[in-house]
Amino acid sequence: LGAEANQQGIYHNAILNSFTSPVVPLRVIDEVQYPFEQRLQLALEIELEREKSRGLAAGLRNAVDVPAQASSSAERQFVPLKKPGNRRPDNIKNFNAAEFYHPLRSRPESWGSINPETGEQLFQYTENGELNPLHTFTVEQIIEYIGQHPLNYRPDPKKPGKMVRDSKNSGLKLWVQCVPADSGRRYPDKLSDKCRFANCPDPHRTIRKGDFRIAFDEQPHAGRKTDPFHNAGYVHLYCMEKFLDFPQLCKSYNVLPDTREFREGKNRMAITRDHQSMAGIVKEFIAITPPWSQFGNGQRPKEYYCHTLCSALTDEHLSTQPGRVQWTRDERGGNSIDVHKNNLDLWLSNSKILKENKKRRFNPGPEAKSQKRKNVEQ
């Protein structure tokens, strides 16, 4: 019906002819105009009765016009033919987020200190509520974003017109997530899922499948209607723990394990996606891990990674996976998660070594070539 209407342009209101699916404008009309005025409600009820009458008449015609088939002693049973292959790529390609979520009503206002390079406020947004995807931020700027965010304040019930700081229950939620696979189409921009730390160890700032990340979510959670892939930004969990006192941040701000359920169904970003126990690991870390200022001699130890949430989540993942998975890794070798343990610096170092070793195998130096000739001559 929607495609036919669009092709013929039968609607009086031209904007209705521009939608590829009639579902979207109908939902908007229903939300904005409900309850309908009496005239429109009556017209819809009359048209519904006509549609029912047409359907009944068509059914009666079909029953009369189609001749009865001769009975057969051996009735054939037809089994629907299943489409071979993996349907996942088609499901991903054909997914329409507009059937589940609404766009933001307006672009969020810029805020923050003045950027000396541009003369503009530091935190600027797109129409999707995302921090400008071309921008990265220093450690100090990330601290400003989390620590001074306007959503850290709420109206003071005791003093009308006044605001009170409540960062632990901030509207800025810092979700601890898994990186979802095959979700590139869901982000507003091709740079949306990059790490926002300017000094991220990865020169491409890539947050890979299998990594853990923090999502900066500024949208209301209760009754959410905006796309959960449209966040202000993302950072590696590893980077958050490398550059900040993350245990202190967990004590002071709204850090949460992502266990949400979405309108579309499964939450592919959920920290519990692979193992339900992961949510407990996050909650326990938030509750009992002391800030670095209270750790040992009052400073973060040089070898700190084993004390991080990223390390704890990785250990839990490895300990709860099927044994055959680890057997496959052992057979294959390489820079796998059981080797780098989601330590991004170690992953990069190992990757560089493997790349150099591979290059040497294919492009041996003059000494290796000379030795090879001697071996042949002998």
Both tokens of residue 185? 């189409």
232-286 residue pLDDT tens: 999 999 999 999 999 999 999 999 999 999 988 889 999 999 999 999 999 999 9
CA pair distance 196, 131, nearest whole angstrom: 10
| Contact by Cβ (8 Å): 166, 153 | yes
The residue type of 176 is V
Mean pLDDT is lowest, of 221-225, 303-307, 332-336, 353-357, for 221-225
Query: Would you say how long the chain is, in residues?
Result: 378
**Segment 342-364 mean pLDDT:** 86
Which range of 104-118, 199-213, 346-360 scores highest in mean pLDDT? It is: 199-213
Closest CA to 192 of 105, 131, 255: 131
Pairing mode, if any, of strands 212-217 and 233-236?
Answer: antiparallel
Q: Give me the chain's average pLDDT, please.
A: 84
Query: Cβ of 56: how many Cβ atoms within 10 Å?
Result: 10
pLDDT in the model for residue 268: 94
pLDDT of the residue at 367: 60
- pTM value? 0.71
Task: Give the integer Cα–Cα distance in Å for 105 and 206.
Answer: 30
Round to whole Å and give the CA distance between 131 and 232: 5
**Largest Cα–Cα separation, the chain:** 101
List the chain domain ranges: 1-51, 124-361
- pLDDT of residue 141 exceeding 80, the answer is yes
Cis status, amide bond into 35, omega within 30 of 0 = yes
Reference 225, options 289, 158, 129; nearest CA is 129
